[in-house]
Structures are given as C-alpha cells and as structure tokens.
Structure 1
Amino acid sequence: MVGSRRTFFKVSGLAAAGMLVHGTAKADPWDEVDAILARIKPPAFPDEDFDVTAYGGKADGKTDNTAAFRKAVEAANAAGGGRVVAKGGTFLTGGITLLSNVNLFVDKGAKLLFSPDQKKYLPVVETRWQGIECLNHQAFVYANKATNIAITGGGTLDGQGQTWKPWGSGGSDWSQLQKWGADGTPVAQRKLGDGHKLRPNLIQFVSCENILISGITIERPPMWSVHPVKSRNITVEGVTINSRGGGGNNDGVDPECCTDVHIKDSTFNTGDDCIAIKSGRDVDGRRVNMPSQNIVIENNKFVFSNRGAICIGSEASGGARNIYARNCAVNQANTSDQLWYAVFIKTSKYRGGVVENVHFRDITANKLTKSPVFITLNYSGSGNSGPVVNPVVRNMTFERLIVAGSKEYAVEIDGLSASKVTNVIVSNSKFTAISKGGNKLTNSQNITFPGTTVNGKPA
C-alpha cells in the first residue's frame, strides 16, 4: 500500500462528518444542502395547452412531425408560455428546439420517436462534444439561452440510437475537434455537422436557466441522454433512463458547467456512466473556466452501468465543487457484474481544474465489478489534447457506505506524484466480500477511515 493514511479508533461527530484541515474539524458540510435545495425551484407554466395535432401533427409513427412541433413551440412561446402536448400515440420527429416558457409534455402512453435521418438535426448549433465547444448537429431536444423550460409527462423519448452507432467515437472528426480545442481555434470556426460523425445528445440545454425534466422515460439515445451545459437551476426527477442499445457512450445525466442541480428519484440503466458531472476538457475547458457546483443527488436507483453509478469527470477542467449524494441504491437486484463502481472520480494530468468538497452518505451497493470508491488522476480514457496541467482533487467525505461485494478493493485512490489526492474521510462504513481485501492508496495523503471496516477488520 502506497501513500499515507491515519485511522481513527474513536470517532467524534465533527471529525467523521466534516473535513480535517490543519488538525481542526470544520462544520458538517451537509449543512449547506438545505440552502442549495432552497435555491432550486422548478419552473411554472401558464395553464394553456398547445396540442401538436392542432399544428398538423399525427401520432401514427410514420408522419414527420418536425414542423408541427416547431409551430406548437413557437405558438406557446408567443402566447407567453404553456404546454406543448403530445399524446395518444407515436410521433416521429426530427430535432425539437424549445423556447422560453415552454413545457414539452409527453403524455403517458405517448412516444417521441426520433428520426435516424441526420439532416433532421441541422443546421448546426452551439454545442459541446465531450467537453469541447463546437458547432454540430443539435440534440434531439435542444435549447439555447432559454428560460423556464421543461420536458414532463409519463411518456417516452426514443432516440433510435442504434442507427447512429456506425459513427463510432467520431474518428478523424474527434481528432480534429481536439486539435481545435488545443490550438484555441475560435469556436465559430469549429464547424462540423453535415458530412461529419460526432453523434448528438438526446437532450441538451445550453446556457439556459430554470429547467425541469420530470417523469419521462428515455430509451436508446445516440450518445449522452440528458446534458445541460452552462446552465443554472436544474431539476431532474422521476426519470427512467434505459440507454443501453443506443449509439454508444450512453451516459444518463451529465450536468456540465452547471450550478444548482437536483437529480432525484430516478432510475438508471445505462450503457456508460449513470450520472457524470463534467466541466470541460483540457485547454478548451480551462478557457471556458466554469465549474459544476452545488449539485444534490438523492434517492436514485442504479440498475446497470459498465462504468460508474455517480461520477465526476473525466472532463473536469473547469472544476467541480460542492457535490452531494445520499440515499442511493447501486445494484439493488444483487446480480453480479451489473456495475463497475459506486463512486468514480476520474481525471488526468492534462485536465487541470480543482475537484473538491465532494460528500456522499448512505449509499448501498452490491456485487460490484471494480472498487466501490475509485478516485484516479490517471484515467486512461482521457487522451492528450494539450500540455500537462495537473488537476487538484481534495476534501471528500464518504459516510455510511454499505457495500456487499467487490472483485477488487474497498477504496482505491490513484493520485499523481506531482498532485496527490488529499483529505478524504471514509467513516462509519462497512465493506464486505471485498476480493482483494483492504484498500489501495497510491500518491495520496491524509486518507482516514474512522469507524470503517473491510471484511470485518478495521480499514
């Protein structure tokens, strides 16, 4: 075991719940949660409906409803707001752009079936692709600089993402975008879209405020499922994400450079990370220099992921701070090889940025493929798009984690010799059936385990 560690045998309330800085316990970091949640207020909308069928829409699964949705959204916006309603069947459509004060309401039993025709998501729009700004296909539901927007109802958004899978990871287009980001090419000149192969997200809201995504089911996205960018006051609640079978890299909810976010009461069955908090990639991410902060994740169920349940990174160049997660169940079905990590914090020596003040409590997990808590500054998927700028990862607490089963370690920390992971407390937690036993700590300092056991022994 490499790195330094101190174990407390007597646990005081402040030492277990707060961070120890220069030997002095700070106040409980969870005291900040109520203030964060008090600021997050879902938008309200006028009590007026704009049924898509009144604008030429047909729920027959065959008719192209792109124009009908556009007309309904524009009418609702012009009237001062309301619900654009899809009900009673399957609506085939291209891209939908929401405007301020519009709630896209997909009724229970209704489905938005997104066209596989890539030209339905043009012209190009301002977007971000894996943490680098560019002009590319719009997300299937998109908004830019809108206020008070929502997607609600009990219906389904089906991205038919498998039709986009041949585009893969972007190939030469992705290489070109990374080069543009590293070279500081003006964003207006980073034009992709038609003839290029960077898959769009299913839902992406850019520079928006007052967002609600509630009650819907998402299936088969072409890439990430829900991706708010540079936005504020966001509520994601009661959402079911079944992203497996989509286009690949099918994350669940990825807030990027966002402030005041509440993700709750949702279920994740994803082809990649379930929740991934991001803030830009390498040189371009540091140029934007906007953190993701004040995020509360609670009461969620994580069914499947071949990566992590709750993640930070790897695109974290703008930093991430004040991240809280509680009362979540990882692999509740207790079936082997359903998820890799419960907590996955990942970055690299090219990212830069500060990840700090991260707090998890009351998380249960079963039969994980990898270490339940994995913090790495050597993430192999990060690539190299710019000079070495070491990240800083510090000040984290993990309380009352109950983990039954891991094929690796309990807690694994993999820092850099030039930038150690510092000040991590894992308190009052219980890890059982940990195959490799104990923890693996490399290039880390002030990592403590008060009241925590691994396979029945003090950590």
Structure 2
Amino acid sequence: MNAMSNTTSYTKPHYFSIDLISFFLQIMEKLLTFILLGLVFVSTAESRDHKSFKEQIPYSAINCRKHIAYLTDFGGKGDGVTSNSAAFKAAVANLSKVASDGGALLVVPPGKWLTGSFGLASHFTLYIHQKAVILASQEESDYPLIDPLPSYGSGREAPGKRFSSLIVGTNLTDVVVTGGNGTIDGQGEIWWKKFKAKKLKHTRPYLIEILHSTHLQISDLTLTNSPSWHIHPTYCSNVILERLTILAPVDVPNTDGINPDSCTDTRIRDSYVVSGDDCIAVKSGWDHHGINYAKPTQRLSIRGFTCISPKSALIALGSEMSGGIRDVRAEGLRALNSESGIRIKTGVGRGGYVKDIYVRDAEMYTMKYVFWMNGDYGGHPDTGFDPKALPEITNINYRDMVAKNVKIVGALSGIKGDAFTNICISNVTVALENKEKNKEKRFFIGEEKGKKLPWNCTDVGGVSSKVTPKACPELVEKEVDCAFPTDTLAIDKVKLNQCFVNV
C-alpha cells in the first residue's frame, strides 16, 4: 500500500502565483475532463463553491482523492423509500473514468438511501456521512444471482447459485469504504425468516463482498442486520479493516462479523461485533474445491477486538479451511457472553491446514468454552470430497489470558489417526462458573453429558505452563512461554493518510 503522505484539503487553488500559460493549460485540462465525463456536476472538489458546505471533515484512507461527487448529483434521494440503485451505479460508472486522474470520492450525504446491490471501482472511495444510512433493499430481484465461489464449489446454504452482496467489487485496486461512522443497514429480517422457513433457493447475500482485489480499506462504519455475513473479503491482499461496529441479533444464524477468506496480508483493528455467529471467521475454501484452488489465508493481524456471541466464537478458524490458514496473530481481545473464545473447526475431507497461530492478551467473561477445537465439524458441499484428505493442525499458541465465569476451559478434539499437534497454552487463569449462582441466568442451551470437567482432550498433543485449572494430560506441563512472533508484518506498518471531505 502507498503509505506516503497525501493530505488533500480540497481548498480552492490560488492561481495568482502561476503565469498565464500555466493557468490556461490547467483550465483546459479541467474542461477536457468535464467533457469526457459528461457529468452534470462539477467534477473536482477544487471547483466546488465551498460556501455551500457547512464543514470540512477529516478521514483516514490509504489514498486521498482528487475528484469528488455526491449521490444527489446522480438523482439520489435520501427519503428511505426511493430506490437509489440506479444512482449508485451511475455514480460509480462515471467516477471510475477518473481513476487514473487522482481517483474519485462519492459522498453519501445525510439521509436514508434505499438501494439494491451495486459495485465499486478502483481508485475509489465511498464515504458515508455520520448521519447517512444505506438501507439494503429487501427485494430478491435487487440482488442478481451469481455463481458459487470457485474455492467453495457451491453456495453455502444451497447447491446452486447465490445472491450477490449489497456492495460488491471484483479485480479492484485501491478501494475504500469509510465514513464518519455512517451506517449500512442490511435490513435482514425478511431474509432470516425465509431462511428459517426454508423458502430460499439460493444462498443469502452478504453486506460487503470484495473479490480478487488489492489495497482494500473498510473503516469507521456501523454495519448492522446483514442477511448473512457482514464483511467478506475473498482472494484479496493488503486489506485494512478498522474501527468497525457490527451489530446483529444473537439468535440469527450465519450473521458473522468479519470473514477474511483466502486473503493475504490483512489487519483487523479496534472493532466491536455483536453477532449470532462467529465475530471473526477465518476461511479459505471448502473441501476439494478449496484444496484445488489452493489459496490460503495468511499473515492476518488482529488487535483491539471485542465480541459478544452467545452461540459462537470470538475468533473461529474454519470450518472452511481447505486452502490453508497460517500466520495469524491476535492480541488485545475481549469476549463477553460468548460461546467460545478461540475455536478451530475442521473435519475429515477438509484437507488443508491451520498452523502458526498466535494469540495473546485476551480477557473473557461468561463463556461456555475458552479453547475449543473440533475435528468432526461441518458438512460437505457435494459428494466429491476425499475422505482421505485430513487437515494438518499444528503450532497453535495461546498465552497471557484471563477468563471468568466459564463452564469449560478446554474441549480439544482432534481426529483419530490425525492428531492436532504442537499446541501450547501458557499463563492462563480461568475462574469456573458458580453453578448455583448462575442456575437461573444460563443462556446456553443443552449442556452435553461428559463435558462437565474443566478440560476434555482427545487426539491432541502439546505443552502447557502456568494454566489454572491445570490443563489435560495431553498438554504436558512444562516451564515454557508460548511463542508470539517478534517481527512486524508489512500490513501492520502501513500508515493511513489524513484526507478531507466537504459536506
């Protein structure tokens, strides 16, 4: 990513300091750009009458933009009723023409902007004002049907096609979705009801899905009520996801918060998720489709993350992990009222690997599990999976954690004949729940028989140190500090620029 300083104030230029020829050339350049675009609005921020703006708002971005437009310039109406699908599409199509001339920024002003699915462009910023809400259409016809992802081979909820996400993009470079904590509301209730009633023939849409792209930023937004997953970067590189608030009902399945999928060099920072599923779910393809596509998620950095998910995990690795997951670094984590802290989900037929996982500095309160690993999780997209394709789960490191009001410290179940190895847990203190005190306060349904001990381990191996309650015998007690890398990932070195937008 371009971390060079690029602060753009969008103030009106002072032409008195240049000679007449230079002045004439600049004017001709602007007129030519205007004519080529064929736009009905003034194409650059420098040319707008700044007296009409009430304030200049700073925002952080991988790159600032030379050109600026407003959704209202393309006929957008923020009344919460009028469809703005055509306005969004026209805006992106026109602004994409200046991608090579400093890029463009589209402002979604205060209001409620109803829309169906629309795409983004390269060298483009979608800025959602603090008082703006993008409302997702609830009409199936506003979401084109698209093919399954090649690393999945099938829709996750139906064997056929899937509905396009609300905001999409493919083969993009340098794209930003940000704002002053503006909102994208998926209005997912109608989708959830259809899903529960088994009335959907295709997989539900996500809120944001970006494919095959590089230098992607999603930040400073509130995302809520997605029909399914909220953010799904897939086959992407150099991804920055920061200062996000993601909210969904805790009783709705598959409303995951952030799902990096077959992505390289991703960072997730300072975000908060309430969900009916995993707050972060790290993925890389499903069974033989993921094995053949062979695109892992790697070099993922997570810091300053808080999760509430009574039926799922703070961070889940899998279960679609057939392309591999490696070099995940997570620290500064908080989980409240969640089913599990860190969970690995895989099974026979998955193949792939989950390895070189490093987690430290976590606090958890009111949990069912702190550590959870499943070697028998999930179904298959079709009958073509290889039952001999066994996953490799190794070099898993957890350290420096505190948890209170916990039912089970660790439930670690590998695969017979394919043990999960080199697990290390150190400096972890867990206070188990007071069952009598919490008898009337349980939100977990169905306590399994045989799961009442603080640890349950099968087909796993590794070491533990300074763990309370004492870890299972499979994790041999040994004086050790579990590993955490000392180097800095390239994605962690990227600094965003301070830009400005007039509203």
Matched letter for residue 95 of structure 2 = A
Q: Which has the larger radius of gyration?
A: 2
- What are the superposed Cα offsets for residues 179-207 of structure 1, whole Å, 9 maximum, x if unpaired? xxxxxxxxxxxxxxxxx332111110010
Mind listing any 5+ residue stretches in structure 2 that lack a counterpart?
A: 5-59, 156-160, 436-451, 478-503
For 1:391 and 1:170, locate their aligned partners in 2 and report how far apart those are by CA, in whole Å.
Answer: 34
- Aligned twin of 1:43: 62
Aligned alpha-carbon RMSD (Å): 2.6
Matched letter for residue 168 of structure 1 = F
For 1:238 and 1:405, locate their aligned partners in 2 and report how far apart those are by CA, in whole Å.
Answer: 28
Matched letter for residue 62 of structure 2 = P
- Aligned twin of 2:97: 78
CA contact (8 A) 1:275 1:310 kept: yes
- Offset of residue 166 of structure 1: 3.7
> What pairs up with 1:406-445 in 2 under 5 angstroms?
406-408=406-408, 410-433=409-432, 436-445=452-461
Matched letter for residue 468 of structure 2 = T
2:121 aligned counterpart, secondary structure = coil
- Aligned twin of 1:113: 135
- What are the superposed Cα offsets for residues 326-351 of structure 1, whole Å, 9 maximum, x if unpaired? 011111xxxxxx21001011001021
Matched letter for residue 124 of structure 2 = V
For 1:247 and 1:433, locate their aligned partners in 2 and report how far apart those are by CA, in whole Å.
Answer: 28
For 2:265 and 2:358, locate their aligned partners in 1 and report how far apart those are by CA, in whole Å.
Answer: 15
User: How many percent identity over aligned positions?
Assistant: 27
- Aligned twin of 1:156: 183
- Aligned twin of 1:340: 339
- Aligned twin of 1:96: 118
2:149 corresponds, among 125, 128, 132, to 128
Whether 1:139 aligns to 2:165 is yes
Range with bigger deviation, 205-214 or 299-308: 299-308
For 2:177 and 2:190, locate their aligned partners in 1 and report how far apart those are by CA, in whole Å.
Answer: 24
CA contact (8 A) 1:45 1:102 kept: no
- Offset of residue 129 of structure 1: 9.3
For 1:213 and 1:381, locate their aligned partners in 2 and report how far apart those are by CA, in whole Å.
Answer: 31
Closer/same/farther in 2, CA of residues 417 and 172 from structure 1, 3 Å limit: farther
CA contact (8 A) 1:225 1:243 kept: no
CA contact (8 A) 2:151 2:284 kept: no
2:390 aligned counterpart, secondary structure = coil
- Offset of residue 47 of structure 1: 3.6
Matched letter for residue 142 of structure 1 = V
CA contact (8 A) 2:330 2:358 kept: yes
- Aligned twin of 1:189: none
- Offset of residue 448 of structure 1: 1.1
2:330 aligned counterpart, secondary structure = strand
- Offset of residue 303 of structure 1: 2.5
- Aligned twin of 2:81: 62
Whether 1:220 aligns to 2:225 is yes
- Offset of residue 133 of structure 1: 5.5
- Offset of residue 380 of structure 1: 4.7
2:69 aligned counterpart, secondary structure = strand
1:54 aligned counterpart, secondary structure = helix
For 1:272 and 1:420, locate their aligned partners in 2 and report how far apart those are by CA, in whole Å.
Answer: 27
Normalising by structure 2, we get a TM-score of 0.73
- Offset of residue 398 of structure 1: 0.5
> What pairs up with 1:32-431 in 2 under 5 angstroms?
43-80=62-99, 81-122=103-144, 124-128=145-149, 131-132=152-153, 135-153=161-179, 154-168=181-195, 196-244=201-249, 248-331=253-336, 338-369=337-368, 371-380=369-378, 385=383, 386-388=385-387, 389-408=389-408, 410-431=409-430
- Offset of residue 390 of structure 1: 1.1
- Offset of residue 455 of structure 1: 7.5
- What are the superposed Cα offsets for residues 387-414 of structure 1, whole Å, 9 maximum, x if unpaired? 2111110001101011112212x12210
For 2:381 and 2:197, locate their aligned partners in 1 and report how far apart those are by CA, in whole Å.
Answer: 14
CA contact (8 A) 2:230 2:258 kept: yes
Matched letter for residue 232 of structure 2 = H
